[in-house]
Each structure stands twice: as C-alpha cells, then as structure tokens.
C-alpha cells in the first residue's frame, strides 16, 4: 500500500515537472447566420478536444515548466463558411496573458485576430504537428500561434528571449508557402496575415517593439507592487521606445496590437495619477496610435 502511494506521488511529481508549456482553452463557434446540422455541431465539439490535446500536450520547447508556470492562452475558431463537407473557412481569435510579479493580476500579451482561417477536418482524425514539415493547414496554424505566444512570453521576461520561437514561426511560414492556403504569403492583400506578423517582429526596424515588450513588463508591471511611482515611469519609458518604429512603420499591426492589449490596463493603472502624468501618457499614446486617439482620451478625467 505504501509503495503504491509513493508511486502515485512520484508519478504526480514527474507529471508536474514535465508539464507542457501552454494552458490553452479552445472553443469553436459558428457565424450567427451559418446553418449547421447536429453532425457538424458534434464535429465542432470533437475538434475542440483534438485541438486542446495538440496545444496542451505537445512539448513545444526543451524547457521544463511546472503546471503553475504554463502560459494561459485561448483560441476561438469562428466558422463562417462550410464550402463542402469537412472544409471550413472563418477566423481565429488568439489571446495570451502573463502573470505580474507579486500579484494575482494577469496582463494581456497578445490579442490577435487572424482572418485567414481555412482547413479541412474529418471525424476521428488525430491532428499532430511535425517540425520542418507541412502536414496540413490547421496543425501549421496552431503550431505557428503556439510558438508566437511563446515568443511574446519569453520576450517579456528576458530581452529578445523569444527569438528562437519566432524563428520557428518563420520556418512554419516557409514550409506552408506552397500549400495554397491563405495567410502565409507576403503578397496577399493587406499586411495582417501570419507572414507579416512574424516577419515584422524579426526585422531590425521592430527591435524597439521587442525592447518595449521586455521593459514594459519587467521594469514596469513587475515593479508595480514594490514602487508604483517607479513602475509607472518605467511604463512610460518603455512605451517611448516605440517612437522610432512608428516613424518608419506608422500604423503597424504589431504596434497597434501591443497597444490594444495595454489600453484598458493603462487606464486602470493611471486612474489615481495626477492630471499631468495622465496627459503625458495620453499624448504619447496618441502619437503612437493616432487612429485610436479617442480611446486614449478616455484616460483623462
């Protein structure tokens, strides 16, 4: 009996030590006007489980994570069209958060909408990801965002710590180039697809964004518990690092998305600030993201 209990404890400890990196919640919804039958709804439920298995039980890195260290994230697949049985077209919403030191608060790292979701799926199909190989579009999309989430998370804890994961994203993009699936090429309409999301972040011109990601979280958010005044100054200094990016790449989706993640957070943090400090932040944010000036104006009394 004692050996059995010890064995269970050992297995539990081993499982915790070898916990994978992501704690990802998957949901699948349909566009309101799309009519689906009960079979399709069952497929959606099955696919939720299959994708949850893929995201949470794949070992994406060589690093060891405890259960508590797993990165909380979510993916919502919205199905807009079913062109034929087993073929789905829609959009994908991705969110990821990061815990703030000495608090129970989680700050938003990524809040991205991918409008190029297209895949095939048949019941009882196991979806797996094979590095350096394009197996199917869905596994490639999921792996791409798993690595992008890891890149953003690691960048927030160490300066450019996520480089190896962004490299993985670029490799997935390269492998998918000849698939014919949308979202993987530079010459597609607009610059909000998967190609440009990671290509931008790896360009020298965008290094200040990665510097900002690190400084905002480590020098700003993680210091708020000990010294809120110092923390808020660090947040301002971090955001100021985005100025050179905005000068050469105005309205960059990468910068706009980063600021979207922080907009409500900054409003809350600055709620007890003097008018001058609020005004300084608002002036900076409007300069960085002029298309959303009215949103930043809400920070002021």
Residue for token digits 């985005």?
Answer: 242
Please tell me the distance from the alpha carbon of residue 243 to that of residue 226, in angstroms, as a whole number.
28
In whole angstroms, what separates CA 249 from the centre of its chain? 21
In whole angstroms, what separates CA 59 from the centre of its chain? 17
- Work out the end-to-end distance of the chain between its first and last CA atoms, rounded to an integer number of angstroms: 66
Q: What is the pLDDT along the chain (301 residues), one digit of tens a residue?
A: 333 333 333 343 344 345 699 999 999 999 999 999 999 999 999 999 999 999 999 999 999 999 999 999 999 999 999 999 999 999 999 999 999 999 999 999 999 999 999 999 999 999 999 998 999 999 999 999 999 999 999 999 999 999 999 999 999 999 999 999 999 999 998 889 999 999 999 999 999 999 999 999 999 999 999 999 999 999 999 999 999 999 999 999 999 999 999 999 999 999 999 999 999 999 999 999 999 999 999 999 7
Q: What are the residue boundaries of the structural domains of the chain, listed by start?
A: 18-190, 203-301
- How large is the angle between the packed helices 137-157 and 194-202, nearest 10 degrees? 30
Please tell me the distance from the alpha carbon of residue 51 to that of residue 24, in angstroms, as a whole number.
9
């Amino acid at each position: 009996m004692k050996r059995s209990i010890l064995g269970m404890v050992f297995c539990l400890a081993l499982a915790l030590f070898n916990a994978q990196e992501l704690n990802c919640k998957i949901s699948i919804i349909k566009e309101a006007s799309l009519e689906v039958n009960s079979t399709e709804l069952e497929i959606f439920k099955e696919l939720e489980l299959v994708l949850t298995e893929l995201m949470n039980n794949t070992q994406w890195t060589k690093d060891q994570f405890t259960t508590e260290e797993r990165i909380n994230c979510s993916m919502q697949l919205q199905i807009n069209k079913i062109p034929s049985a087993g073929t789905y077209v829609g959009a994908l919403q991705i969110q990821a958060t990061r815990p703030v030191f000495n608090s129970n608060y989680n700050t938003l790292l990524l809040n991205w909408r991918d409008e190029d979701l297209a895949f095939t799926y048949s019941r009882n199909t196991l979806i797996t990801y094979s590095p350096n190989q394009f197996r199917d579009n869905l596994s490639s999309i999921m792996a791409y965002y798993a690595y992008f989430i890891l890149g953003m998370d690691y960048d927030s804890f160490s300066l450019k710590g996520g480089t190896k994961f962004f490299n993985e994203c670029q490799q997935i993009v390269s492998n998918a180039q000849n698939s014919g699936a949308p979202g993987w090429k530079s010459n597609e309409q607009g610059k909000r697809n998967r190609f440009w999301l990671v290509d931008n972040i790896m360009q020298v011109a965008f290094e200040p964004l990665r510097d900002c990601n690190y400084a905002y979280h480590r020098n700003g958010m993680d210091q708020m518990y000990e010294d809120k005044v110092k923390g808020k100054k660090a947040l301002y200094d971090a955001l100021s690092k985005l100025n050179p990016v905005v000068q050469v790449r105005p309205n960059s989706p990468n910068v706009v998305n980063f600021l979207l993640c922080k907009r409500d957070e900054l409003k809350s943090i600055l709620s007890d600030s003097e008018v001058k400090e609020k005004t300084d932040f608002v002036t900076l944010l409007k300069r960085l993201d002029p298309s959303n000036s009215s949103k930043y104006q809400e920070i002021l009394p």
